[in-house]
Structure 1
Amino acid sequence: MPNLDSVESILAIVVVFGVLVFVHELGHFLLAKKAGILCREFALGMGPKIFRVKRGETEYTLRLLPIGGLVRMAGEDPEMDMLKPHMEVTVERDALGKVTHILLDGPSSGSARAITGTVVQFDLEQNLNIVLELDGEQKTFAVHPQAQLVKDGQEVQIAPLNRQFKGKTVSQRFWAIFAGPAANFLLAFVLFIVIGFLYGVPNGSYLGNVIPDGPAAQAGLLPGDKVIAIQGQPVSSWKDVVEKISKAPDQQLTFEYERNGQRMTVPVKVGKDENNVGKIMVTNATTFAPGEVLKYGATSTYDFTVMILKSLGMLVTGEYGLKDLSGPVGIFKMTGEVAQQGMAILLKWAAVLSINLGLFNLLPLPALDGGRLAFLGVEALRGRPVDPHKEGMVHFLGFAFLMLLILVVTWNDLQRLFS
């Protein structure tokens, strides 16, 4: 029987990744809807559907595999191939005579406004009409812009060109794609703010708790002291203090600090931890001031973004290799471990993962949001879109490469897990 810690870890993994994916897809969804794009499906997970509910024009689904998600926009799949010339169909019309349903499986239940005929031609994107042959004569029917194609009891709403992704301007398509990664950065910012309001944020360079018998206590530093300079170099934030101390294990640093309005100087012999990182055994003073919390949210999001970009740069330069990367298994494992360290650490980890997800999707690689944005950039420069078949092939090859990469890093994870 799984213990409580295991249950908590699994729950943390499901919640964290569910929220990250949900927010990412919600960004796509909201901006696509704002642009007037018909969103056929909002899905969490991949693979077969295990739950579905339709609200308005969109079907909301949960899929079997708890990785990823999607917003399926009109024009991105071939659902209009359901209707073909020479098919016998039944059309149902409203009071104004516009076709509201096109039944592909045969006659309807006998509606007074239903007509059965053979499809001669149709235009469900621009002119919105369908031509049927009825008793040797051809008759044209206007089609309602929200008409439904019905096959095997399932309804699929038609998508006029102005409701399709490809029918929107470059700017509208750009924002619909960019909104996914942008939502992840916004989520990270919000999570850091939540951390700040729940647990406080560093109050400048003021000292909080000073551990008895630690290097700082032995030097005579007290809670409430404001560190002004270290080794003659000014400091203004707790980040500055930590950076200077962590880089000086076993060294003696001169601290200039302020206490009760008086400036004083004292030498501090820096200690170190098991990773050879300098420590003086103090914590930062905290504040819950809204202005400082908002500032903390913004600076933390920026700092972690820069840190992750530097790590990506190390991959390019060869300082990191594929063996150093973690895939889904490794990230799930780390999330479970982080969950055991408390809510504050878990929230910060979720914020960092959200930034990772946003940055990863912005990489200009086929099949990612960044790759789609790159094609939009080419379209903007050329004044016309790239051939859809060529773009589709590039995205397919890119997706295959990503799957291969995921397999490689997952193998690395499994080796580390069982070693």
Structure 2
Amino acid sequence: MLKTLLVFLIIFSIIVIIHEYGHLFWAKRAGILVREFSLGMGPKIFAKQAKDGTTYTIRALPMGGYVRLAGLNEEAEVQPGQSMGLTFNNENQVVRINLSESIDINELPVRLDRADLVNDMVVDVYEQGKEELITYSVDKEAEIIERDGTVIRVAPLANRYESASVFNKILTNFGGPLNNFILSIIAFAIVGFLLPGIPTNSNQIGQIVENSPAAHAGLQAGDKITSVNNQSTKNWQELVDRIGNYPKETVRLEIQRNDQVIEKQVQLAENEQGNGSLGITISESTAIKDRLLFGFTATYRTFIMVMSALATLFTRGFDLNMLGGPVAMAQATSTVANKGMIDIIAFLASLSTNLGIVNLLPIPALDGGKIVLNLIELVRGKPISQEKEGLVTMVGVVLVLILMIAVTWNDIMRAFF
């Protein structure tokens, strides 16, 4: 159990970090202030602010993570009526606003009346024990100490999400899933170099199983089966499909051996699934090019498999059994954790592709939903109001939360009852 938990946390953390870094990278390229890059949820354990204003945090619950972009439906962090401490520079500009309970003795204690940290960059405050309203200008790189002690930077309008071009907004939202696909390609490429050989998916025979129909018929490694009962087989999948249609039946095979074309009548066997079986293995390549390409081909196959499964939800009806949550992921992790490094890396690659696709679904609160809003802005020539966008996002969060609860409950019922 401990090994499974450790492997799960490592895999999940890698995928989340890579995903969120994609958002961070493109946001910074667009000039958007990334206020926080967090690994995990809940109470803060560690925080460190970089020179560019991004605070990197590790939080107590190792489930997920997030990138906090300035202005992206972010609640106003400074509210009227709050007590706070102000720190000034030599020009009497506010350089730090302390909202935490730990007010430093060198800070000026005040009560906020109004704050504009987007356009005018000012705060209207009442000093402690005084009734005179005073206005202080705020430095454009001033810091805010939040209630939990996290230090973030103020975000003038030019550095906020809403000021970025539509193209940069799309890149910022697409950056997370894009990184998931890149991670999948790299991980599968690593698997390609760890495997003894890479399946070629060709119609060429790799090895002949002893005492199999292929062995009895005199087939040889390297033979290419070009047709089964006059049905062409251009690749391994077509060959498997054709053979599978004739359990325990005699089939006519057309074989290319070097420069010769040979025809053979073969009595097939039947495998455990009730399909026809010839007793051959797929050919493999050890070329470096094929090992590298395995990263792309395996990611593509995983992508198509996930998309097909999602399409089935619409064509055959919604079924919770086709979805898996944390419990299903934990079960799958338990299986691969006991197999070895190759299976663990391949599992990470598959999960990364899954996460990339799911996040691109046009559901509010997911990256795909945000991209839909970006496209609407592109068509309208202006963004929808922040109030409406916030409402749409909230609806999406509720729907996703309900779905997660339903999927998790279904996983528990399948696993334990």
Task: Give TM-score scaled by structure 1 length.
Answer: 0.85
| Cα drift, residue 213 of structure 1 | 0.8
| Cα drift, residue 161 of structure 1 | 1.2
Contact 2:83 2:109 in 1 (8 A): no
2:2 and 2:81 map into 1 onto residues whose CA distance is 56
Determine the structure 2 residue equivalent to 1:230. Answer: 228
| Cα drift, residue 70 of structure 1 | 0.8
2:251 alignment partner, one of 250, 253, 258: 253
Determine the structure 2 residue equivalent to 1:182. Answer: 178
Determine the structure 2 residue equivalent to 1:30. Answer: 25
Change (3 A) 1:248 1:378: farther
Task: Indicate yes or no: 2:43 matched with 1:45.
Answer: no
Contact 1:248 1:278 in 2 (8 A): yes
AA matched with 1:163:
N
Unaligned ranges ≥5, structure 1: 1-5
Correspondence 1:155-166 to 2 at 5 A: 155-166=151-162
Change (3 A) 1:304 1:392: same
1:17 alignment partner, one of 7, 12, 21: 12
Contact 1:84 1:119 in 2 (8 A): yes
1:73 alignment partner, one of 66, 69, 76: 69
1:183 and 1:241 map into 2 onto residues whose CA distance is 35
Task: Indicate yes or no: 2:166 matched with 1:170.
Answer: yes
* Superposition CA RMSD, Å: 3.2
Unaligned ranges ≥5, structure 2: none
Task: Give TM-score scaled by structure 2 length.
Answer: 0.85
Identical amino acids, percent of aligned pairs: 34
Render the CA deviation track for 1:56-99: whole Å, top value 9, x for unaligned: 322323333333221111123656542648978644114x6654
1:196 alignment partner, one of 185, 192, 197: 192
1:377 alignment partner, one of 361, 375, 385: 375
| Cα drift, residue 260 of structure 1 | 3.9
| Cα drift, residue 131 of structure 1 | 6.6
Q: State how many pairs are aligned.
A: 410
| Cα drift, residue 377 of structure 1 | 1.4
Contact 2:185 2:296 in 1 (8 A): yes
1:125 alignment partner, one of 94, 97, 118: 118
| Cα drift, residue 196 of structure 1 | 1.7
Determine the structure 2 residue equivalent to 1:409. Answer: 407
Contact 1:90 1:107 in 2 (8 A): no
1:271 and 1:69 map into 2 onto residues whose CA distance is 51
1:45 and 1:103 map into 2 onto residues whose CA distance is 24
Contact 1:51 1:62 in 2 (8 A): yes
1:154 and 1:40 map into 2 onto residues whose CA distance is 10
AA matched with 2:365:
A
| Cα drift, residue 150 of structure 1 | 4.3
2:404 and 2:168 map into 1 onto residues whose CA distance is 31
1:219 and 1:173 map into 2 onto residues whose CA distance is 62
Determine the structure 2 residue equivalent to 1:3. Answer: none
2:5 and 2:109 map into 1 onto residues whose CA distance is 55
Change (3 A) 1:165 1:262: same
Contact 1:202 1:238 in 2 (8 A): no
1:375 and 1:334 map into 2 onto residues whose CA distance is 35
Render the CA deviation track for 1:99-120: whole Å, top value 9, x for unaligned: 433456899756xxx9888878
Correspondence 1:340-419 to 2 at 5 A: 340-419=338-417
AA matched with 1:281:
G
Contact 1:206 1:224 in 2 (8 A): yes
Which stretch shifts more, 156-165 or 249-258? 249-258
Change (3 A) 1:253 1:190: farther
Render the CA deviation track for 1:158-195: whole Å, top value 9, x for unaligned: 11112111221111111111111111122222222222
Correspondence 1:278-293 to 2 at 5 A: 278-293=276-291
Render the CA deviation track for 1:316-362: whole Å, top value 9, x for unaligned: 12355123432220122022113333433333333222221111111
2:45 and 2:275 map into 1 onto residues whose CA distance is 49
Change (3 A) 1:75 1:194: same
Contact 2:49 2:151 in 1 (8 A): no
Correspondence 1:243-322 to 2 at 5 A: 243-319=241-317, 321-322=319-320
Task: Indicate yes or no: 2:213 matched with 1:211.
Answer: no
Which stretch shifts more, 368-377 or 239-248? 239-248
AA matched with 1:350:
L
Contact 1:90 1:106 in 2 (8 A): no
1:54 alignment partner, one of 35, 49, 52: 49
